[in-house]
Amino acid sequence: MSRSTSFIGFTETAKKIITSGKLMPVRFNGEVVLGMFGEEVWKCQLYIDQLGVQYEEYVQAAPIGRSGPCIFMALRNAESKMPLKISLWTNREIAENI
């Protein structure tokens, strides 16, 4: 069995938030998600909503699956670092995807 990093990405709800126009992409936030061999897997983005609140992408969880780490992404407030709850994976969803 080959070892590799699996980029699971965002929940369907988070994808809808990102693509719906509710959050506008601002720029790369400087964080790069690396895989198990140091390879670049994802460049995290910074977003802003209509009220001026900034949100950023982050790694919610990276459990080890059968072939290597599985990377689950979510959104959080860029200032407070509090997760945007509706963007989070549940423990059950994470377990079902590793």
User: Cβ(7)–Cβ(57) under 8 Å?
Assistant: no
- CA distance linking residue 31 with residue 57, whole number of Å: 9
pLDDT tens, residue by residue, 70-96 = 999 999 999 999 999 999 999 999 999
Helix/strand/coil percentages in the chain, nearest 5:
20, 45, 40
pLDDT of residue 91: 95
Q: What is the pLDDT of residues 28-77, one digit of tens each?
A: 989 999 999 999 999 999 999 999 999 999 999 999 887 889 999 999 99
Q: Name 80's bridge partners.
A: none
